[in-house]
A and B are shown apart, each in its own frame.
Chain A
Amino acid sequence: MDLADKLAILADSAKYDVACTSSGVERPGRHGALGSTAAAGICHAFTPDGRCVSLLKVLFSNACAYDCSYCVNRRSNPRPRATFTPRELAELTIGFYRRNYIEGLFLSSAVLGSPDATMERMIEALRILREEYRFNGYIHAKAIPGADPRLVERIGLLADRLSVNIELPSAKSLDALAPDKSKAAILRPMGQIAAQSAESRRDLAVYRHAPAFAPAGQSTQMIIGASPESDFQILRLTEGLYKKYALKRVFYSAYLPVVADSRLPALSTQPPLLREHRLYQADWLLRYYQFSAAEILSEDEPWFDEYLDPKCTWALRHPAFFPVEVNTAPKAALLRVPGIGPKSALRILQARRQQTLGMPELKRIGVVLKRAQYFITCGGRVAARGTRQEVAAALLDPGAFGVGVRQLSLDDFVARPLPGAAPAVHALAAAGVEAGRAARLVREEALQCLTRRI
């Protein structure tokens, strides 16, 4: 098999892994080495599904000894198999990196024989990169659940970021769908990584040249929609993971049926992309907006609103919190206003030290006022008055009604619901309603419903 075919197979097998970020560590270049990293991460390309390509994201091998029911690479699924050699992979990484195609390598693998044997091959590839090629760019590696802790330690000294996939949002689902994996086998390396990176950060503070263990921290990902957990359960799990394992990111991957199996959603099921999107929005609220999971959802309301983002939902449930006075409110209160993000909040804080802010000033600062205007006052004056219907129209998330040409084939110029549109839009369109009309009908109904709620 030539290298190009191998690459295509092993990239295709890795594409459902969602975490392609290269963020979390700032490391300038130095002579005698190749590469640097940027704290915010850098994207290098965008595929036709709109996702960022930052790293050479491949599996070391897709010849898996396990049989997880939701995975294309499971043992019982007939498909082409391939395995890199450590040196091939290192050369490929360097060749792509020098040409500015990528920020580095994201290496994961199916279980090649045993977890230990797999990790040893992965470690050899990373060792060649770091020691022989003196590669100083970004490396994200997966720790294989069940591998020896000493191997996890070794790979952590070579990689910038480590991750262990939690796979499914509960132990029960894990038992049902991934019989070879256990919750303990997943959480143990997570705990080890959290402890060792904390220790390494302490050492680095004392001895500048102590070896860094996964300096960009660890992340995890879980599959959404293959199992019955509610949004609230998932969000609470996320919050717990951030606290307990000091995770940098939790990623969600909308389940895309790849196999007919009575334990799983039917093959014709649409991947729940809007739900995935809402989870990311809520995750953002946890990390950057000082929200807690219990403020966003609850036992009584365990699902996200399809037509409103979680922050707007919160705002509508807490009318007494508003309006917020932009000239005096603390940052945390500004961050609760729909439409004001961390960047806008910071600029407001800076600007209001010099001058009193009214609507024209806010516009110049670059605050998006479409939603915010109904929730703020400027110098005691109400920023905008709108009818209930106007307010509702501003708050509805346009993404839920997205329609566009998806070019599913070269000569396809038909408008269809975009992947992230609400299920109701997809359903109407599937029933034969023209996509634009389907979106308008669903929006009309959502608007009426929301207007009544305000």
Chain B
Amino acid sequence: MPYQAHMTDTAYRYDGTFPGFLCCVFASFARREIPAAVLGPEEGQTTLFGSADIATDAARARRVAAGLARLGGTVRERVLTGFLSTDPGKDLALLRFARLCFTLGPRAANMLGDPDVAAAFALERGVNNEAHKFIEFLRFEERGGMLGAVIHPNHCVLPLLRAHFCSRLPDEDFLIFDATHGIALLRQNGAVQYLAMERYAPAPDAAEQGWQALWRRFFQALTIEERRDPGLQRNHAPKRYWRDMCEMWPDPAAP
């Protein structure tokens, strides 16, 4: 090992941003240690460990980011995507993974038999899987020529939805509101931005209700009763997604 590090029982505290996380990686090398925990601003107020506050410094973050980029697409994607996870302990798992990659080079990413690599891989896969579910299940409603959707993801998946929907709807304005984290992805006049937003509740107008009714009608006509198997349905479309899928809502009472 070119770089000796020892386990400490110090916890790193940082501001929860991605540059902040990169500075934790930087600090871990500078201090030649692997921290016992890496905590964002809202986590673990009382710890058994001593803690070190890691300041976010743009220049240091850039150095680490450039280093990650040199390690190739697999490593970089895994850290970036894994960081969108909200699993507890993800910061430490990704820091340990990044350290291993800096030490062993890009090939470390394939060492799935290694606990740190496997943990980072699991984080990345969890986020990607959830993002894919929303690519499948998100439903837009049209309002004044603009499409809007509300989702309730566990992880911060909006950045992973961006490319898909921008490519698919190249000339449309749309907004996807992540109600769990209070962030919206807004695409307007070809430009994309992320907005902090408290609430977004588009109420479908009559025309939109008409579309939803058509879709529900189609959906209901497709079931083959002899094959009915609600357990299988829930395997593919777990219940937690149903609130964002208009065909799963109860039929609106007839007027």
Contact = CB atoms under 8 A, between A and B. Distances in A.
Given A347-B112, A353-B110, A35 B232 contact: no
Given A46-B237, A95-B211, A11 B222 contact: yes
B219 A45 contact: yes
A137 B230 CA distance: 30
A8 B216 CA distance: 10
A360 B167 CA distance: 41
A12 B221 contact: yes
Interface stretch (B54-62, B82-90, B132-140): B132-140
Q: Which residue, A28, A36, A354, A419, has most C-beta atoms of chain B within 10 A?
A: A354
B222 A57 contact: yes
B135 A405 contact: no
B167 A271 contact: no
Interface in A50-96: 50-53, 56-58, 92, 95-96
Nearest to B223: A47
B236 A98 contact: no
A340 interface: no
B31 interface: no
A433 interface: no
Contacts of A4: 213-214, 217
Contact of B230 (A347, A365, A407, A420): A407
B142 A99 contact: yes
Interface stretch (B1-9, B168-176, B179-187, B193-201): B168-176
A404 B108 CA distance: 44
A365 B172 CA distance: 41
B253 interface: no
A387 interface: no
Contact of A99 (B211, B221, B222, B223): B211
B222 A15 contact: yes
A99 B215 contact: yes
Interface residues of B, number: 53
Contacts of A43: 136, 236
A454 interface: no
B115 interface: yes
A354 B217 CA distance: 54
A34 B171 contact: yes
A262 interface: no
B240 interface: no
A43 B219 CA distance: 13
Contacts of A32: 170-171
B133 to A, nearest CB: 10
B149 A350 contact: no
A260 interface: no
Contact of B222 (A51, A98, A405): A51
A317 interface: no
Contacts of A99: 139-142, 147, 211, 215
Contact of B168 (A7, A36, A360, A407): A36
A389 B217 CA distance: 50
Interface string A310-337: 0000000000000000000000000000
Interface string B141-164: 110000101000000000000001
A29 B163 CA distance: 10
B235 interface: yes
Contact of A351 (B110, B213, B236): B110
B226 A419 contact: yes
Nearest to B115: A364
B140 A49 contact: no
Q: Which residue, A58, A101, A361, A419, has most C-beta atoms of chain B within 10 A?
A: A101
A48 B220 CA distance: 9
A357 interface: yes
Nearest to B109: A350
A365 B113 contact: yes
Interface in B95-113: 107-108, 110-113
A88 B132 CA distance: 31
B229 A350 contact: no
Q: Which residue, A43, A47, A51, A405, has most C-beta atoms of chain B within 10 A?
A: A47
A204 interface: no
Interface of A: 3-4, 7-9, 11-12, 15-16, 28-36, 42-53, 56-58, 92, 95-96, 98-101, 137, 256, 270-271, 273, 347, 350-351, 353-355, 357, 360-362, 364-366, 404-408, 418-420
Given A48-B223, A49-B232, A361-B112, 20 more contacts: A7-B217, A31-B171, A32-B170, A34-B169, A46-B237, A47-B233, A50-B231, A96-B214, A96-B218, A98-B140, A98-B142, A98-B172, A99-B142, A100-B138, A101-B247, A137-B168, A273-B227, A361-B113, A362-B113, A407-B230
11 contacts: A8-B221, A34-B169, A45-B237, A49-B232, A101-B247, A256-B226, A270-B226, A354-B107, A364-B114, A364-B115, A405-B230
Closest 7 CB pairs of A and B: A50-B232, A361-B113, A49-B227, A364-B118, A11-B221, A29-B167, A350-B110
